[in-house]
Chain A
């Protein structure tokens, strides 16, 4: 098997696949290719969508075709790529108190930890934005410590509010919409990933690192009020 593999998607995209399973090396390769294409987009390029181990390159079939885009991707892959610039470090306040969470006790029970130890483990995680997916502003953060990595719930819970901090397996997410989720709801943040600011509508870039900071309930409420104004 040669890496990466090129897979065709209808008449308008190529999926460039760097591995079969999650790996840091493959994700770094995805980000390098993404940056190389953004720096010098081939004619007919529309957008590139990074994921864990693959990059989707969407193009206009009226202007170009799979072979031409594949050749441009091969050139981008062998370029002396500029070293990956480290992403920005983003601090996100989280309240773990009262009705900001609903699953801390159950996560504690299932992991054999105390709720305080679950919080400490969550705060100690080394988080990185791997991709946005699923719905607008859903940034998948990998880096949840193994001690609190649980499989998702068997059935989703409905109407989980926006701003919930949820975990499943090695992943953590800040929800942006009121939606059902089968992930574990351990806290709530006043931070809005969909910022509502036209000049920067999405808080994170893929590759950013995220640090969670614990806040108490009054601080959470104050920051939530400030975020609204």
Chain B
């Protein structure tokens, strides 16, 4: 970057009067700050010279963009593939009724730019997977406000993969937040140095799926009837139409199917709203929780960029790196060190030990990956040391390897053998050492 002084850094009119409060705190030595950190102009220089990437322009993303702009960051990029829906308006405060249908990243960027003079926000309306390492390398750090665990895992693995020990600039801190109802968490990840998203995966175990036979033959709950309509009835009766969760006609059809089935079994409680909730896997979300978690993430970003106070994860590896927040019953936070796992498939170097029943078929084994809290893979492909056991991502290979599905694991692998598991949703491969249950 050019030799610029803090005074003429892009603040619209070039003056820093607007940043009176922020400048004051950054130019005074704090009692908890590392005394080696620069204060004043040098710290502010950091703040306005770095490029920051925000992933997600939804509930958390809107807040994050506002907060970063008012933290003095001036060069912000934002990625989001979604368009605005009416149900976003109760919390995604950069959007109005008239914006429904437009791209979130674009509308959010323009709004914050117009409100906070001097900040430049560059939107990209698409998927994070469209971008390569060169793109991610330009940022000082990444702030994530996503509702999808797949996207989190993808960016996490990408940032871990980018770390080059010879080049300190290749280490991009990842600041990540998530919410559900009155609860949430935020954490700071220093790829390869502290616990990563994949190390933490079992903290976010998927809800146990209801067995298919329950849905098909012995439903007991209204949700079972809805899942039946969703998974079974639709395929039987409307095979040629792709189910669109956002099409009210489709939801209505599922609702009526589920209602009829519930009546047949005397099960009370199926509603349209519940149908929508089950089919779209809706997580309750409110403005205030998003505000809390996004502000916590941006506070860490601000501390990290200015050195004005220690951020989470500093100094690695022992510092606290994870905060959980719960507002249901009074308010509790738990701030702790989540430890890096040596057998993490992304940032560790050991194969994870997995106990298996050798009498399982490969089919059963493949299906079990979706529900394993530490794996959560929906379309796994599996290779042993010797050969490809099952490959789902390429049709011809799928056909070739399909006969293996019926075979017992004991026929395919030996006790103690290592396997590699991959999934099209993630660009990494998981290593497991299989140990036979006796």
Q: Do A and B bind each other?
A: no
Q: Which residues of B contact A (CB under 8 A)?
A: none
Q: Which residues of A contact B (CB under 8 A)?
A: none
